[in-house]
């Protein structure tokens, strides 16, 4: 029998995820000697044993790894025989420059859930139960390495029972940094708006919810505002106080079995709901949805639903179910449905601190369910959608941030400041990109400050010293101004990246593409390289950061500028005017409104042109009479998509578009839509003709690989039919999966372009 000994280096997401106990158990099972420890590079292992056992060990490091870990590489280097190794031990961490990843926050695992509802367990109904496989991570870490003293658990000294678990390599809570119990951990409190506490926090909280009160409940990455989704008055009061009149509010149920009365879900959607990341998933509403949950998602095509992801949320449902023993009640339909919406009054950042909650939610929340474990990083709920073929992000945040993306190239460290809306930031280190949590629209001072904080924190925890800064071409976005100031203060270069170029580059980055592609971007609006307002663009994007504009959608006038984006009737009028049908504008919208717009067109007053695809969608929704004014962004396109879905597939109108000199014009289709009485058929025809026009547009030539990006690709009918058409013509089609196709992915694309340019400049 031959023996073998050596040093093993494991890279990836291997700290704070139970990797050392896993190595310990594996080594013992294979009768190996040695040790394992965390260091700045990841995990280091010294191992000695029988040759075949060592080989087995090396392959199982990756194949049997803990659920939350990610292994990027295992390297083995033979070493001299060391007689001093007699057993296998877990050593303490070694410091140094940090080069490892922080895990995202994870929903309660099945083992912890079983303990939570086991009356004989010492953590029965403990609102902060967790283990190495679950619980908060990113939101409680101040800096790396991920040790308890660097988290907001530092102030809680473990009791002897918890300490013993924490020290035992065979225990599920070995080095689980947030480990605690009722005796030694964070404490829950329910207080009224004046700060007066009540007994039995969970029981009282539920009672208040069921009596129509609004509660602020502290979650993983911030507070939620919560009320009974079946109570119309409570939901209406919540909407009014949050200044959110129409936008759908997310709801939470105990388990997927409780969705049926108001939402339709398939296997994949349930998979997303029940995943450890526990996002909000957009589901089709049932016919009864608006009656079951009045006010949750009126005027919307979808309802956003999620399952509990903290023990505290589970306890509310457990209380409502009458405190049943075991887990089987979670498989049954439970009547409690909670509105669970981010506590971000007026679109400002999410509330995270207890004191801040009282101040900023004053007059909104009647009661506060809080605790003394601080949230160090604000992190909104993620929002996803199943598009018929794959999961897609609407918003990538809790559960995913700051999971790293491996890039196809390694280059200078970049800090990219993202777009002005749906802002995220992105930092790179070597060949890894770290996309921040969702920060939001930078239209208020608080969100701008949140951007600065999130960027600083990302650099801090990853110990990144940026060498290049990237930002949007639009000089007026706060993110662009701040990026330039940041670059000046550090004496480093700032690179402006065109908005739609960044959309394409984000998809190239995640698919590891480092060669030219055809980029089709269907988006809202972004500043173009020629100073125009772009948004329906066919680009050829190179590997060294450059791009050329091959074509664009025919421009439509935006009567009234920004307000046209919220009023599809204005875009319908714009299309009618372009068709020479001013009489129809007056007939539809009356003399006052109609003539006002016609005069604006005639005198060229505040009617900027845009090639935005989003505005073509608005025009279609307007001209079909689907909606005149929208209550939230993307509403018109979503309603149009739902109508098309209801109708079912139709063939395209072959004479519905003109393709000339790289410009794709759908006005001929709009001539037909304007006279159509059947809106569902019209919506289906619009989608089919759009996809056919785009297919022919892309025939013009260029690289065989096509990237589809931009906010309009949230539309599943368009993205599925176009992808199928393009693939049948021999194109490889790449879509946004790691990040949303909307502006939430812009910072990733900016970072990739700046890195490509940085490398090209040095070459």
Point out which residues bind Zn ion (CB under 5 A).
109, 112, 131, 133-134, 159, 162, 181, 183-184
For Zn ion, the closer of residues 12 and 18 by Cβ is: 18
Quote the least distance from Cβ 352 to Zn ion, whole Å: 23
Quote the least distance from Cβ 339 to Zn ion, whole Å: 27
For Zn ion, the closer of residues 156 and 601 by Cβ is: 156
Specify whether the CB–CB gap between 503 and 709 falls below 8 A. Answer: yes
Residue 698: strand, helix, or coil: helix
Question: Which residues have a Cβ under 8 Å from the Cβ of 493 and sit 6 or more positions away?
Answer: 468, 469, 487
Quote the least distance from Cβ 338 to Zn ion, whole Å: 23
Quote the least distance from Cβ 248 to Zn ion, whole Å: 31
For Zn ion, the closer of residues 318 and 615 by Cβ is: 318
Quote the least distance from Cβ 456 to Zn ion, whole Å: 31
**In angstroms, rounded to a whole number, what is the distance separating the alpha carbons of residues 131 and 111?**
9
Look at residues 657, 687, 641, 701 and name the one whose alpha carbon lies nearest to residue 553. Answer: 657
Torsions phi, psi for 142 (to 5 deg): -90, -40
Quote the least distance from Cβ 196 to Zn ion, whole Å: 28
For Zn ion, the closer of residues 114 and 291 by Cβ is: 114
For Zn ion, the closer of residues 165 and 319 by Cβ is: 165
Look at residues 755, 674, 722, 322 and name the one whose alpha carbon lies nearest to residue 520. Answer: 722
Quote the least distance from Cβ 161 to Zn ion, whole Å: 6
Quote the least distance from Cβ 162 to Zn ion, whole Å: 3
For Zn ion, the closer of residues 112 and 626 by Cβ is: 112
For Zn ion, the closer of residues 133 and 318 by Cβ is: 133
Quote the least distance from Cβ 68 to Zn ion, whole Å: 10
**In angstroms, rounded to a whole number, what is the distance separating the alpha carbons of residues 637 and 617?**
6
Q: Quote the radius of gyration of the chain (alpha carbons, Å).
A: 27
Question: Which residues have a Cβ under 8 Å from the Cβ of 548 and sit 6 or more positions away?
Answer: 539, 540
For Zn ion, the closer of residues 184 and 236 by Cβ is: 184
Quote the least distance from Cβ 342 to Zn ion, whole Å: 25
Quote the least distance from Cβ 133 to Zn ion, whole Å: 5
Q: What are the residue ranges of helices labelled H in 125-221?
A: 160-167, 201-210
Q: What are the residue ranges of helices labelled H in 199-345?
A: 201-210, 232-242, 267-273, 289-292, 311-320
**In angstroms, rounded to a whole number, what is the distance separating the alpha carbons of residues 402 and 210?**
36
Specify whether the CB–CB gap between 292 and 178 falls below 8 A. Answer: no
For Zn ion, the closer of residues 126 and 725 by Cβ is: 126
Quote the least distance from Cβ 106 to Zn ion, whole Å: 8
Strand partners, 251: 305, 339
Q: What is the largest CA-CA distance in the chain?
A: 96
For Zn ion, the closer of residues 315 and 497 by Cβ is: 315
Strand partners, 39: 42
Question: Which residues have a Cβ under 8 Å from the Cβ of 460 and sit 6 or more positions away?
Answer: 143
Q: Rounded to the nearest 5 degrees, what angle is found at the Cα of 328, between the Cα atoms of 323 and 333?
A: 85
Cα-based distances in Å from 624 to 203, 541, 587, 612, 651: 50, 36, 14, 19, 18
Specify whether the CB–CB gap between 499 and 527 falls below 8 A. Answer: yes
Count Cβ neighbours within 10 Å for each residue of 731-747 and write b for 16 or more, e otherwise: bebbbbebbbbbbbbbb
Quote the least distance from Cβ 332 to Zn ion, whole Å: 23
Specify whether the CB–CB gap between 348 and 378 falls below 8 A. Answer: no
For Zn ion, the closer of residues 136 and 279 by Cβ is: 136
Strand partners, 520: 538, 708
Tell me which residue has tokens 């875009």: 571
Residues in the chain: 763
For Zn ion, the closer of residues 178 and 412 by Cβ is: 178
Look at residues 379, 511, 512 and name the one whose alpha carbon lies nearest to residue 458. Answer: 379
Look at residues 761, 712, 754, 708 and name the one whose alpha carbon lies nearest to residue 731. Answer: 708
For Zn ion, the closer of residues 102 and 598 by Cβ is: 102
For Zn ion, the closer of residues 110 and 456 by Cβ is: 110
**In angstroms, rounded to a whole number, what is the distance separating the alpha carbons of residues 84 and 267?**
54
Look at residues 153, 68, 61, 62 and name the one whose alpha carbon lies nearest to residue 102. Answer: 68
Quote the least distance from Cβ 146 to Zn ion, whole Å: 16
Quote the least distance from Cβ 159 to Zn ion, whole Å: 4
For Zn ion, the closer of residues 113 and 384 by Cβ is: 113
């Amino acid at each position: 029998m031959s023996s073998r000994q050596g040093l093993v280096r494991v890279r990836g997401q291997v700290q704070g995820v139970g990797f050392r106990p896993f190595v310990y158990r594996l080594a013992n099972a294979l009768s190996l000697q040695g040790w394992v420890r965390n260091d700045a590079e990841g995990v280091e292992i010294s191992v000695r044993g029988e040759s075949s056992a060592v080989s087995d060990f090396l392959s199982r490091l990756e194949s049997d790894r803990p659920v939350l870990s990610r292994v990027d590489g295992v390297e083995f280097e033979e070493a001299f025989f060391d007689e001093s190794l007699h057993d296998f031990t877990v050593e303490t961490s070694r410091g140094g420059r940090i080069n490892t990843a922080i895990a995202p926050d994870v929903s309660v695992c099945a083992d912890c859930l079983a303990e939570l509802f086991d009356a004989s367990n010492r953590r029965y109904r403990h609102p902060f139960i967790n283990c190495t496989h679950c619980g908060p991570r990113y939101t409680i870490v101040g800096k790396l390495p991920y040790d308890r003293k660097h988290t907001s658990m530092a102030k809680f000294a473990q009791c002897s029972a918890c300490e013993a678990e924490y020290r035992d390599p065979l225990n599920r809570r070995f080095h689980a940094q947030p480990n605690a119990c009722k005796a030694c951990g964070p404490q829950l409190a329910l207080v009224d708006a004046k700060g007066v506490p009540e007994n039995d926090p969970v029981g009282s909280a539920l009672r208040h919810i069921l009596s129509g009160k609004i509660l602020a409940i502290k979650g993983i990455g911030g507070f939620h505002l919560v009320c009974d989704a079946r109570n119309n008055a409570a939901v209406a009061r919540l909407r009014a106080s949050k200044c959110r009149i129409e936008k759908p509010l997310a709801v939470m149920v105990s388990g997927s079995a409780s969705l049926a009365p108001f939402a339709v879900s398939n296997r994949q959607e349930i998979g997303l709901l029940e995943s450890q990341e526990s996002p909000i998933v957009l589901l089709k509403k049932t016919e009864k949805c608006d009656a079951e949950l009045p006010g949750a998602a009126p005027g919307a095509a979808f309802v956003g639903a999620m399952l509990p992801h903290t023990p505290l949320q589970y306890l509310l449902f457990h209380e409502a179910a009458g405190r049943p023993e075991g887990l089987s009640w979670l498989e049954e339909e439970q009547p409690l449905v909670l509105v669970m919406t981010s506590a971000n009054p007026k679109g400002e950042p999410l509330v995270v601190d207890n004191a801040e909650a009282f101040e900023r939610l004053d007059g909104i929340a009647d009661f506060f369910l809080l605790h003394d474990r601080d949230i160090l990083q604000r992190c909104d709920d993620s929002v996803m959608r199943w598009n018929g073929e794959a999961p897609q992000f609407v918003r990538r945040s809790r559960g995913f941030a700051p999971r790293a993306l491996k890039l196809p190239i390694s280059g200078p460290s970049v800090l990219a400041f993202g777009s002005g809306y749906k802002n995220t930031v992105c930092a790179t280190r070597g060949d890894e990109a770290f996309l921040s949590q969702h920060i939001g629209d930078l239209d208020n001072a608080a969100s701008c400050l949140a951007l600065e904080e999130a960027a600083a924190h990302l650099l801090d925890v990853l110990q990144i010293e940026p060498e290049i800064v990237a930002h949007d071409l639009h000089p007026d976005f706060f993110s662009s101004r701040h990026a330039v100031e940041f670059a000046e203060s550090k004496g480093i270069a700032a690179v402006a990246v065109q908005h739609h170029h960044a959309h394409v580059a984000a998809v190239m980055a995640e698919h590891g593409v480092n060669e030219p592609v055809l980029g089709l971007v269907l988006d809202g609006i972004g500043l173009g390289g020629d100073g125009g307002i772009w948004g329906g663009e066919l680009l050829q994007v190179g590997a060294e950061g450059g791009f050329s504009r091959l074509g664009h959608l025919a421009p439509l006038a935006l009567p009234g500028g920004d307000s046209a984006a919220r009023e599809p009737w204005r875009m319908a009028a714009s299309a009618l005017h372009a068709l020479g049908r001013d009489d129809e504008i007056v007939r539809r919208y009356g003399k006052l409104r109609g003539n006002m717009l016609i005069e604006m067109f005639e005198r060229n007053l505040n009617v900027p042109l845009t090639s935005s695809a989003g505005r073509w969608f608005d025009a279609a929704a307007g001209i079909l009479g689907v909606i005149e004014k929208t209550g939230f962004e993307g509403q018109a396109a979503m309603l149009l998509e739902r109508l098309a879905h209801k109708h079912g597939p139709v063939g395209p109108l072959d004479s519905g578009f003109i393709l000339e000199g790289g410009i794709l014009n759908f006005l001929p289709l709009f001539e037909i839509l304007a006279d159509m009485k059947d809106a569902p058929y019209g919506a289906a025809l619009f989608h089919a003709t759009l996809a056919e026009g785009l297919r022919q547009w892309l025939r013009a030539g260029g690289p065989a690989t096509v990237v589809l990006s931009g906010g309009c690709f949230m539309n599943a009918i368009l993205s599925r039919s176009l992808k199928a058409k393009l693939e049948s013509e021999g194109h490889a089609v790449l879509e946004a999966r790691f990040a949303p196709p909307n502006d939430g992915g812009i910072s990733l694309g900016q970072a990739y372009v700046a890195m490509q340019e940085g490398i090209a400049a040095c070459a």
